[in-house]
């Protein structure tokens, strides 16, 4: 917890420093002023898929971690806190990155360059930059580590439930399995770089990103919604009884129609619109 809070504090300091850069006006204009002429359904779907990804929706991570904590707070209240914190961090990241991009001439869509070129340039030109840069990347390493743990936890929990193995044995087996399964992605940038599974200049990582972001996350979320609202699943009454346990934001009974019929249609539409461009 303290490492994540330290990373947030450092991000706020770096974001404040960005307002003194030469490209701050252009960066903030690019970041905060929408260009509706470029708005289309693919942009909306990309934003929704990013929301699924950054909040780990549809893969069971939230459900598993929720089972580890007490029921003193409602599901709605905890969800609101996660959304607010995630949005705050995303806004801070934008305030850091885009002014720096226009200051140092880095394309805003060049993701690897944003981390390994833009940020070092920021630290090189800010007071005590070496200190802040070192702290930032150290805490980011721990943030990445915690993210990997969060993703792996659903695999570990599922395997333990299915096999009854100890946590240590499950961790070793799953760790070795994931190491082997991730090799094609790593080799896709060198030995297997001649493979283009989605055509064009795509690589194996693009295929895996498509499977996870465009298929597994929305379809997993759809299954969760249907399970929680359908009579043949958990059922709406059981869901709100569990979700509203504790203090905080409550699910109202008036949301039943939307959650049962409207929300599944929205998620399914996001899934369909998201995969159509890959079959043209």
Radius of gyration of the chain (CA): 21
Task: Supply the mean pLDDT for the chain.
Answer: 87
SS3 (DSSP) at 22: coil
* pTM of the predicted structure, to 2 decimals: 0.83
Phi and psi based region of residue 165 (left: phi greater than 0; alpha: psi -120 to 50; beta: remaining): beta
Mean pLDDT, rounded, for 75-100: 89
Judged against a pLDDT cut of 90, whether residue 5 lies above it is answered with no
Tokens of 261: 């019929």
Strands annotated E in 161-275: none
The per-residue pLDDT for range 127-159, each reduced to its tens digit, is 778 888 888 788 778 777 777 877 788 889 989
| Whole-number pLDDT of residue 44 | 84
What is the residue extent of each domain of the chain?
2-32+41-279
Q: Give 56 or 250, the one with higher predicted confidence.
A: 250
The per-residue pLDDT for range 161-193, each reduced to its tens digit, is 999 999 999 999 999 998 999 999 989 989 999
The per-residue pLDDT for range 54-80, each reduced to its tens digit, is 888 888 888 888 888 889 999 999 989
The answer to whether 69 and 1 are in contact (CB under 8 A) is: no
Judged against a pLDDT cut of 80, whether residue 107 lies above it is answered with no
Q: Write down the residue that tokens 């950054």 correspond to.
A: 54
Residue 231: how many CA atoms within 13 Å on its side-chain side?
0
Cα(86)–Cα(84) distance, rounded to whole angstroms?
A: 6
SS3 (DSSP) at 21: coil
Tokens of 14: 């770096």
Mean pLDDT, rounded, for 103-111: 73
Q: Write down the residue that tokens 């947030």 correspond to.
A: 8
The answer to whether 151 and 145 are in contact (CB under 8 A) is: no
| Whole-number pLDDT of residue 113 | 61
**What percent of the chain is modeled with pLDDT above 70?**
98
Cα(107)–Cα(115) distance, rounded to whole angstroms?
A: 12
Q: How confident is the model at residue 197 (pLDDT cuts 50, 70, 90)?
A: very high
């Amino acid at each position: 917890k303290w490492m994540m809070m330290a990373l947030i504090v450092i991000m706020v300091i770096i974001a404040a420093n960005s307002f003194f850069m030469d490209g701050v006006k252009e960066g903030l204009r690019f970041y905060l002023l929408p260009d509706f002429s470029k708005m289309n359904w693919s942009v909306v779907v990309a934003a929704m898929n990013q929301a699924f990804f950054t909040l780990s929706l549809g893969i069971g991570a939230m459900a598993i971690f929720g089972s580890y904590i007490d029921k003193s707070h409602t599901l709605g209240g905890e969800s609101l806190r996660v959304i607010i914190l995630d949005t705050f961090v995303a806004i801070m990241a934008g305030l850091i990155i885009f002014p720096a991009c226009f200051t140092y001439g880095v394309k805003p869509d060049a993701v690897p360059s944003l981390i390994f070129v833009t940020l070092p340039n920021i630290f090189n030109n800010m007071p005590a930059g070496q200190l802040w840069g070192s702290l930032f990347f150290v805490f980011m390493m721990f943030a990445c580590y915690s993210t990997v743990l969060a993703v792996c936890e659903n695999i570990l929990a599922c395997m333990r439930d299915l096999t009854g193995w100890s946590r240590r044995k499950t961790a070793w087996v799953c760790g070795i399995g994931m190491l082997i399964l991730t090799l094609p992605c790593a080799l896709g940038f060198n030995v297997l770089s001649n493979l283009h599974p989605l055509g064009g200049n795509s690589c194996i990582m693009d295929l895996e990103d498509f499977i996870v972001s465009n298929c597994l996350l929305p379809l997993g979320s759809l299954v969760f919604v249907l399970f929680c609202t359908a009579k043949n699943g958990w059922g709406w009454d059981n869901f709100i009884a569990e979700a509203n346990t504790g203090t905080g934001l409550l699910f109202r009974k008036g949301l039943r129609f939307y959650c049962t019929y409207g929300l599944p249609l929205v998620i399914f539409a996001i899934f369909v619109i998201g995969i159509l461009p890959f079959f043209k």
